[in-house]
Amino acid sequence: MSIFNQLTISTNSELVRPTFAEINLDRLTENYHAIRKATAPAKMMPILKANAYGHGLVEVARHVVSLGAEYLGVAFLEEGILLRESGIRAPILVLGGILGNQVPLFLRHDLTLTASSTEKLAQIEEAAREMGVTAKVHLKIDTGMERIGVHYYNAESLLEASLDCQHCLVEGIYSHFANADSASLISANVQLNRFKQVLSFYEERGLTPPMRHMANSGAILQMPDSHFDMVRPGILLFGVYPSAGSSHTIAVKPALSWKSRVVYFKVVMPGHPISYGSTWQSDHMVRVVTIPVGYGDGYFRAMSGKAQVIIRGKRYPVVGRICMDQMMVNIEWETAYNDDEVILMGQAGEQSIRCEELAEWAGTIPYEILTNINTRVPRVYVRDE
């Protein structure tokens, strides 16, 4: 198994923290090709916001570009700049809203801007004119998310203005689904029809539309009519389905495993409570091990009394309140030793703990589990043997 993480040292080194996230690049490759096959001939824009959903922005970007991704999507200007400073030359669309004074930074780093109103488009046009460059722009249409973007029923003014731009190259036009991962697609189909209504602007004028894209992970799975010219896989690329209600029409596998090690072993007597608040105690003598991970790493405190881990191929419960940096696991009278591997999320033999389980224990969604794995948790990149 080859390892190439940002620390450039092996996971056995005393310099690597025993709690780390392991990202399997071969899994990522398999997921990428599965999505590509299902959505062809559409292009691919992997969405890498929030540290590539916790998987590591720069390393994942390099990998998907090597696989042939035509575009990359991020949320904020800073993410795009980091990719450029790391040598990523592929086109990068910044999906989030922008402030006028940020526009020159976009242009200096050759980042594609989201024009979400005629005013924003005018700001981009003016900045590009002053700098003597051509800005690359995608027009954002709000078809029902009510986040950013011009409303679909007011979109014609933005599209008309885009035709008059001298310093903006309008490469794309897009919208975003609010409910494409739901079992019911009634709301999503309303949004899709609204987007098609906006796109009729070009057909009515005999114009070729810019690159059209709308399909997020849920729509990739469930709404082939929304794939258009490009799709935007996010959490699906990383092997996690966007919701319990979405169809599994594309087979993907989790790319990330979260691991740690036993750092302490003790026998706890009956009636001796464990951790802050003394919320848990045993009525008989048990063996308890301490794991060096906590809510400061993104292992949610809300999972106290609910979470389980895998040690030596068996599941064991987390007991007492999860601390900022440590937590305790009751192994009853089973055996475990210091330095034993602990699976927080991932697979060990026939046992596995999925991201969706952590989300259920924490009362949240898989997206939040992945994106909350703190940056103090090292990312280690591996390939299958």
DSSP assigned state of 111 = P
Q: Given the DSSP bridges, would you call strands 341-348 and 256-261 parallel, antiparallel or unpaired?
A: antiparallel
Quote the longest CA-to-CA distance of the chain: 80
Q: For residues 347 and 27, is the Cβ–Cβ distance under 8 A?
A: no
How far lies 157's CA from each of 59, 139, 162, 207, in Å? Answer: 40, 12, 9, 16
Q: Please give the Cα distance from 139 to 369 (Å, whole number).
A: 31
Q: Please give the Cα distance from 71 to 92 (Å, whole number).
A: 6
Which residue of the set 49, 120, 140, 259 is catalytic? 49
Peptide bond before residue 41 is cis, with ω within 30 degrees of 0: yes
What are the phi and psi torsion angles at 274 (to 5°)? -115, 135
Task: Count the alpha carbons within 13 Å of 234 in the hemisphere toward its beta carbon.
Answer: 26
Which residue of the set 153, 264, 266, 276 is catalytic? 276
Q: Annotated catalytic, 43?
A: no
Task: Count the alpha carbons within 13 Å of 232 in the hemisphere toward its beta carbon.
Answer: 26
Instruction: Classify residue 142 as exposed, middle or buried by CB count within 10 Å of its CB (0-12, 13-18, 19+).
Output: buried
Q: DSSP characters for 326-382?
A: -EEEE-TT----TT-EEEEEEEETTEEE-HHHHHHHHTS-HHHHHHTS-TTS-EEEE
Q: Annotated catalytic, 49?
A: yes
**Token pair belonging to 152:** 């679909």
Q: Please give the Cα distance from 358 to 229 (Å, whole number).
A: 35
DSSP assigned state of 117 = S
User: Could you report how far apart the first and last alpha carbons of the chain are, in Å?
Assistant: 5
Residues with a catalytic annotation lie at 49, 276
